Amino acid sequence: MTDGDTPGIRLLAGRYQIGELLGRGGMADVHAGLDARLNRKVAVKLLKPSLANDPAFRTRFRQEAQAAARMAHPTIVRVFDAGEETVREPGGAEVQVPFIVMEQVEGTLLKDLIAGGPLDPAEAVRITDGILTALEYSHRAGVVHRDIKPGNVMITTSGQVKVMDFGIARAISDSSATIAQTSAILGTAQYFSPEQARGEGVDARTDLYSTGVVLYEMLTGRPPFRGDSAVAVAYQHISEAPVPPSAVNPAVSPALNAVVMHALAKDRGERFQTAADFKADLDVAMTGKVPDRAPVSDDFNAALFGVNPGSTAASEATLRRLADDSERVPRTQNRPPVAWIWGGISVMAVIVVAVLVWVFTLAPEPLVGANAAVEIPKVAGQSYRDGGQKLLDAHLKVTRVDESSDTVPAEQIISTDPAAGTRVTPGYNVQVTVSTGPMQVTLPGQAYKPEPDAQAAIAAAGLVYGSTTTDYSPNVPAGQVIGVLVPGSTTPNAGNVQLTKGATVDLVVSNGNVQLPDVRGQAAAAARDLLSGPAYGLQVTLKPTTACSGQTITSQSPGPGDVPQKSAVTLSYCNGP
């Protein structure tokens, strides 16, 4: 195994069965998997073993995976588990393989959709709205994604937008990996924000810039900046103005053009400040109106460097920004005086001490009670997607807990804790129990088992024994099981079967006989092969007679009917001249 390759793991953490490879990336391979403990399908992301060589990465990886696992939202791919697996290489050396166990999503990566060309503007806005909904939730939870790009966005078969890989980028960037390694791991620099390209700290507005890049690419079929190297692209993010998307694709409206350019502002203070602002302007743009927040001009250079004197089409928003700029005092130095810095530190220290004193002396206000501000809405019986959104709209946090149910359909909410009608403070974490449908159990294959043992195995699996029928078998001894009959099936199944707990299972048991057919008139060789083959398993002897010719069977002993397994059968056939 070379450095960076994923070892051939078959069972992870003693519970996750690793299946087929679903995708391969710069930092990880994704496999289909099965959680053997909960009997549910999952996706398992195996990160490159070279990442685990850094202790800082391992610590940050665990912390970020735990933070991502606490997020439960319809637009975010759930993280179920994370950790490291010790694997022995063929040469005998042990390596640590970091892994993440996620919700398995059926759908198409956004990057694959974009590969087919520009998307319809309405569809691009719909997908962007889904990305921003996920970011609005994660930012409220204090989690910045840092790596928004089409390869981290999935569109499910039902059209749902799902964002994945929350926290992984931070775990990598906070480790001691070099810039070159980090760039390779995080993928192309085409989606970096200017502050990321400069190596500065990031916040929620970084994700909004990257989302603007993704929207630009959906509308035009290509990212705003391209170059021969990651460094060249990063430089363009810092210093060059992007070509407006309408110049690449005339189908992009001026209103939508303005929103994209606002999202791609170099100064994070000039771009969208929240995902909600970004979504609101997209909604306005889809009505054909240019949002007031968006700095728009027919000449983009004018929007950057001043009004074009020859243009009379400068928007009201642009003029208003220029008017504001005229009142600002020009800066005469690149950084504030040292005295200001120490003065700011002193003020912050006083504020911190005052807040600590206030917190420790303040009597805690109960989170739950009749005087609390928010009443938990009734969402039991609703789909998790709709009910979870209703709770979020009520300014509550949501933690999903899956539970099987014989009465509540899958993906519907069973209950909430606290219950509906309880008054709590805003931001309270509500536990939402969601049905996974009736519990599924696996019945191992019962072939060749005595009937009493098979009945006991059915009961042990949480199933109900129904009845027993007998049938012919060339090889299963009398009284032993040929297979099981499950609801909706008419053919005995000799292998493992997966059923809903409590389902009725019937047994098919061998009667020890085979049903000997009438082969008279058939070709001798064909009749012999049929009766001695796997369908009957009989001991066949051919007896020639010269009284006739044609190599056909004239008589058989015993005659057609039930005979014991492996019985001797004599076939007389014509062998005359």
CB 167 within 8 A of CB 68: yes
Which residue in 54, 59, 66, 52 sits closest to 167, CA to CA?
66
Spatial distance between the Cα atoms of 302 and 288, rounded to a whole number of angstroms: 22
Spatial distance between the Cα atoms of 481 and 466, rounded to a whole number of angstroms: 14
Which residue in 293, 281, 296, 205 sits closest to 245, CA to CA?
296
Spatial distance between the Cα atoms of 524 and 572, rounded to a whole number of angstroms: 8
Report CA 421 to chain centroid distance, whole Å.
33
Pairing relationship of beta strands 464-471 and 497-500 according to DSSP bridges: unpaired
- Which DSSP state fits 251? T
Provide Rg for the chain, Cα atoms: 35
Which residue in 492, 488, 463 sits closest to 476, CA to CA?
492
Helix, strand, or coil (residue 499): strand
Verify whether residue 147 is a known catalytic residue.
yes
Residues across the chain: 577
CB 213 within 8 A of CB 233: no
Q: Provide φ and ψ at 145, rounded to 5°.
A: -70, -50
Spatial distance between the Cα atoms of 206 and 8, rounded to a whole number of angstroms: 37
Q: Which of 35, 54, 147, 281 is catalytic?
A: 147
Spatial distance between the Cα atoms of 376 and 419, rounded to a whole number of angstroms: 7
Q: Is 528 exposed, middle or buried (0-12, 13-18, 19+ CB in 10 A)?
A: buried
Pairing relationship of beta strands 397-403 and 561-564 according to DSSP bridges: unpaired
- Which DSSP state fits 52? G
Q: Position 217: which residue type?
A: E
Spatial distance between the Cα atoms of 408 and 232, rounded to a whole number of angstroms: 55
The token pair that represents 337 in the structure block: 């005086």
Spatial distance between the Cα atoms of 501 and 342, rounded to a whole number of angstroms: 68
CB 258 within 8 A of CB 245: no
Return the active site residues: 147
